[in-house]
Amino acid sequence: MKTEEDLVRHVLLALSIMAAAWSSAPPADAQPGAPYPNKPLRFVVPFPPGGGTDLIARTVGQRLTETWGQAVVIDNRPGAGTNIGTELVAKAPPDGYTLLLASFGHAANISLYKNLPFHPLTSFEMVTLVATSPNLLVVHPSVPAKSVKELIALAKASPGKLNYASFGGGTSAHLAGELFKILAGVDLVHVPYKGSGPSLAATIGGEVQVLFSTILSGLRQVEAGKLRGLAVTSAKRLQALPNIPTVAETVPGFESGPWYGVMVAAKTPRAIVEKLNQGIVAILRRPDVKETFTREGAEVHGSTPEELRSFVKAQIERWAKVVRQAKIRVD
């Protein structure tokens, strides 16, 4: 006859066997042997919720969910200049279920940080270049410059007297300012802030005079009369803003701004990379998606994996020169 202690022992044994079975079983939504994707995907965004990068990820993720019938969960992992979220994807299983929305810092950080735990090219398989978006060069209304040419003349007349804000060390606003200093031959003082919002508020408040703002937030303040817009940082004028000149029209060779590309961990099977590429590129060709991105001041692309790899390589080389010449370090 079994004692109460024996019964307890048998119950605990049964529960441990059941727990082991559950832990080793695939998720309920995964179907072994079924074509990819057969379970939810995680889309890592190395920024806080609510910004332009987040909007792009959610727009693409929602359409992928509709197309493939599998949830695409947005996972915001900000910190360390995008390195936290990027490392997470670099070390994820190479099965195509963890995606990264890489951006400007992905190419610049290898020159800014001494010991990255991943490589921007070799640690990833490229999927597609989603979009590019310029910064908007704005000044406080008290600055007596109504064009890039006048801003350069003002800066040369008073070296070190004008300050420019950035979203933080190593961000697109910071490196755009350093590139401008190099190509225009001017001396501006860098003042970093913790994010695009604080840097914009500081410029509106007159704490600093110059900012390479995000296109959307900067344009809103220009339209409200709180800032003066001088130029966009793209190589060509934006289709949505044809009356705003480019910096390059005054400073030849100047081009800067955020970009957005989808990547997965290195060694992800080519067939999965191609399916992701085809699915995302088809989404980017949709008129409603193009309209959404255009409103944000972004130009839609939709490249091949090889084109994205070439693009990232060129970005790495471009910003490495600026970082070396400006002697920038953020760690």
Q: What is the pLDDT of residues 102-142, one digit of tens each?
A: 999 999 999 999 889 999 999 999 999 999 999 999 999 99
157 and 221 housed in the same domain: yes
Q: Is residue 21 scored above 50 in pLDDT?
A: no
Identify the pLDDT of residue 33. Answer: 62
274 and 317 housed in the same domain: yes
Q: Report pTM.
A: 0.84
124 and 139 housed in the same domain: no
Q: Is residue 94 scored above 70 in pLDDT?
A: yes
Identify the pLDDT of residue 102. Answer: 97
Identify the pLDDT of residue 23. Answer: 32
311 and 166 housed in the same domain: no
Average pLDDT, the chain: 89
Is 15 inside any structural domain? no
Range of the domain at 165: 135-249
Torsion of CA 71, 299, 119, 42, to 10 degrees: -10
Is 10 inside any structural domain? no
211 and 263 housed in the same domain: no
Structurally, how many domains does the chain consist of? 2
101 and 142 housed in the same domain: no
What count of Cα atoms within 13 Å lies in the side-chain half-sphere of residue 151?
Answer: 29
Torsion of CA 97, 102, 107, 112, to 10 degrees: -100
Is 206 inside any structural domain? yes
Give the span between the Cα atoms of 126 and 301, in whole angstroms.
14
60 and 120 housed in the same domain: yes
104 and 185 housed in the same domain: no
